[in-house]
Each structure stands twice: as C-alpha cells, then as structure tokens.
Structure 1
Amino acid sequence: MNFLAHFFLSGKDDHLMVGNFLGDYLNNAQVSQLPPAVQKGVALHRAIDSYTDQHPEVLKGVRRMYDRHSKYAPVIIDVFYDYFLALNWSTYSEQPLSDFILDAYACLKRHHHLMPEPVHTYVPKMIADNWLETYATHNGIAYTFRRMSHRVSRPELLAGALDTMVSHFQELNTEFNAFFPDAIRHAKAFVKQVAPPQ
C-alpha cells in the first residue's frame, strides 16, 4: 500500500507513523540510528507490506493487470488501494479524511529532523502539493503515476494505469474492501505483540 494506507494503519501514534512513512527509504544501518519507537514503525511498515503482498484478495488484482503492467502490477495496486481507501474512508474512520491528512502532515513536520536526504527534501513538496488528498481523485492518481514514471526503469509499463483502474473499478473496490479489514487487524496485532528494539 502507499502513503495514505500506511499512515492510517499506524493509528494515532506519532512514532509509528513517521517510522511507517520512512520504511521504504532507509537501510538497516540507518534504521538502527532511529529512536526505538520509530524503529518499530519501520518494522510495522515492512510487516504490512509483507502481509499485503501475500493476501489472496490483493493477488487477484495483481494477476489481473500483470499482462499489461508486468513487474509494476504490485506497485500499481499499492497506489490504487490508497484511492480506494480514500473512496471508502467513512467505512474505516470516524475522523474526516481532510482532518486525518492534516494530522499526518503535522506529524511529518514534527519529525522532519529524523529524515535523511532525499526524503528530507521532498516532504515539504509532498505537503505543499497535498499528495495524500490527491489520491482521492482520478487526476491525482494520474499525477502519481506520472511522478513515478521518472523514477522507474520501464516507465512504459506504467502507461494506462488509470485506465486499468477504471476498467476494473468494481472488482478492485470489492477486493480492497475484502482485504483492508484484515490489514487493520494484522497491523493492530503487530503493534500489540512486537516490542520496540532496545
């Protein structure tokens, strides 16, 4: 899953949220320099990713789009699932999405000093361009894939990703809503059971 879902699955814990955000950007040596509670957030991020990659509902969507998007199918699903979380937000949270997003940005600002380059540089752009809210719109999803296309080795495989989502909208929405309650339970169990590194 992408940023919005990872933030949501961190609950209201600042340390988990910032660690969860940093999970894809740090090597193990960098992680070991973080406060233990933030390290737990990184571990949560990786546990969520591992669980997501193996979930049968997620794999349905990945298989459906593999012919068109090949190795980027799982990455595309991650972005789609942020869209579907925004779409179904009131099912999973009593807090308005706009308020949640402001809280997430405030958390990133409070912990900006923990972030290495280039993350330290692009977080202000992320906030200024309101990436989290753009996931709730088709234009925002298209913008996300355009941004990603500059960082991947085969950008042509991202072409038409939004069309893929529109074409399989109902199936993807159904699969997301079958998967996400399981992801919530998994994240809560991880947080409860795993102590921060010492």
Structure 2
Amino acid sequence: MNFLAHFFLSGTDEPLMAGNFLGDYLNNQQVAALPDAVQEGVRLHRQIDSFTDQHPLVRKGVRRMYGRHSKYATVLIDIFYDYLLTVNWAGFAAEPLPDFAQRAYRALEKHLHLMPEPVRSYVPQMIADDWLQKYGTYDGIAYTLKRMGGRMSRPELMDGALDTLRQQLPELNQEFQVFFPQVMDFVGLPKP
C-alpha cells in the first residue's frame, strides 16, 4: 500500500506514523539510529507490506494488471488501494479524511529532522500539494503516476495505468472491501 494506507494503519500514534512513512526509505543501519517509537513504525510498515504482498486478493489484482504493466503491477495496486481507501473512507474511519490528512502531515513535520535526504526535501511539497487527499481523484492518481514515472527504469510500463484503474475498478474495489478490514485486523486497528 502507499502513503495514505500506511498512515491510516498507524492509528493515532505520531512516531508510529513517521516510522511507517519511512519504511521504504531506510536501511537497517539507519533504522537502528532512530528513536524506538519510530523504529516500531518502520517495523509496522514492513509487516504491512509483507501481509499485503502475500494476500491472495492482492495477488489476484496484480495478476490482472501484470500483462499490461509487468513488474509495476505491484506498485500500481498500492496506489490504486490508496485511491480506494479515499473513496471508501467513511466505511473505515470515523475521522474525516481532511482532518486525518492534516494530522498525518503534522506527524511528518514533527519528525522531519529524522528523515534522510531526499525524503526530507520532498515532504514540504507533499504537504503543500496535499498528496493524501489527492489520492481520491483521477487527477491526483495521474499526478502520482507522473511523479513516480520519473524514477522508474521502464516508465513506459506505466502507460495506460489510469485506464487500468477505470477498467478494473469494480473488481479492485470488491477485493479491497474484503482485504482492507483484514489488514486492519492484522495491525489491531479497530473499525469505526
């Protein structure tokens, strides 16, 4: 899953949120230098990723996209699941999404000093552009895909990704509605 889901699955614990955000950006030596509460967030991130990558419904969605998007199918499903989380937000959270996004951004700002470059340099842009709420629109997904394409070895495999989301939305949403409560249970997050 992408940023929004990782923040959400951290509950209300700000150091956990910061560590969960950093999970993909740090090696084990860097993690060991963090405060214990932030280290726990990194561990949570990695546990969530492992649970997600092994889940049969997630794998089913990846297989549907693999022919068109190859190795980036797993990246796309992470992004698409953040989209689905935003459109289904009220079913999973009592806190309104705008309030949650601001709380997540505050957690990042409080822990910015712990972040390595280049992460530290793009967090202010993430906050200014409100990436977390943008996941809930096709334009926001297109923006995310464009931003990510610049860092990929084969960006052409991302071509047509927004069309894939539109075409597979019913199946993806049905799978997400089953999967997401299970990952919430996995991390011990209560449902509203």
| C-alpha distance in structure 1 between counterparts of 2:144 and 2:69, whole Å | 16
Alpha-carbon shift at residue 122 of structure 1 (Å): 0.5
Give the corresponding residue for 2:6. 6
TM-fit CA distance, 1:14 = 0.8
Alpha-carbon separation, structure 1, partners of 2:101 and 2:62: 27
Matches within 5 A, 1:66-105: 66-105=66-105
Whole-Å separation in 2 of the counterparts to 1:161 and 1:175 = 18
**Deviations for 1:96-149, whole angstroms, at most 9, x for unmatched residues?**
000000000011111111111111100001001111111000000011000000
Per the alignment, residue 22 of structure 2 pairs with: 22
| SS of structure 2 residue aligned to 1:168 | helix
Aligned length: 189
How many angstroms apart in 2 are the aligned matches of 1:34 and 1:18?
Answer: 11
- Structure 2 distance, partners of 1:75, 1:89, is 21
> Could you tell me how far apart the structure 1 residues matched to 2:163 and 2:63 are?
16
Following TM superposition, by how much is the alpha carbon of 1:187 offset from its aligned partner in structure 2, in angstroms?
A: 1.3
* Structure 2 unaligned regions, length at least 5: none
Instruction: Give the TM-score taking structure 2 as reference length.
Output: 0.97
Aligned amino acid, residue 60 of structure 2? K
Which amino acid counterpart does residue 41 of structure 1 have in structure 2? G
Partner of 2:41: 41
How far apart in 1 are the matches of 2:188 and 2:49? 14
- Residue 175 of structure 2: aligned partner: 175
Question: With structure 1 as the length reference, what TM-score do the two structures score?
Answer: 0.94
| Identity across the alignment (%) | 63
Query: Quick one: distance in 2 between partners of 1:111 and 1:27?
Result: 17
Any idea what SS the aligned residue of 1:186 has? helix
Equivalent residue for 2:117?
117
Inter-partner Cα distance in structure 1 for 2:123 and 2:160: 27
Shift of 1:188: 1.7
Structure with more relative contact order (C-alpha pairs < 8 Å, separation 6 or more): 1
CA distance in 1, matches of 2:124, 2:140: 18
Which residue number corresponds to residue 184 of structure 1? 184
Deviations 1:54-81 (A, max 9, x none): 1011111100010000000000000000
Q: Secondary structure at the match of 2:61?
A: helix
Please, which runs of 5 or more residues in structure 1 have no aligned partner? 190-198
The one-letter code matched in structure 2 to 1:118 is P
Read off the aligned partner of 1:182 and give its amino acid letter: Q
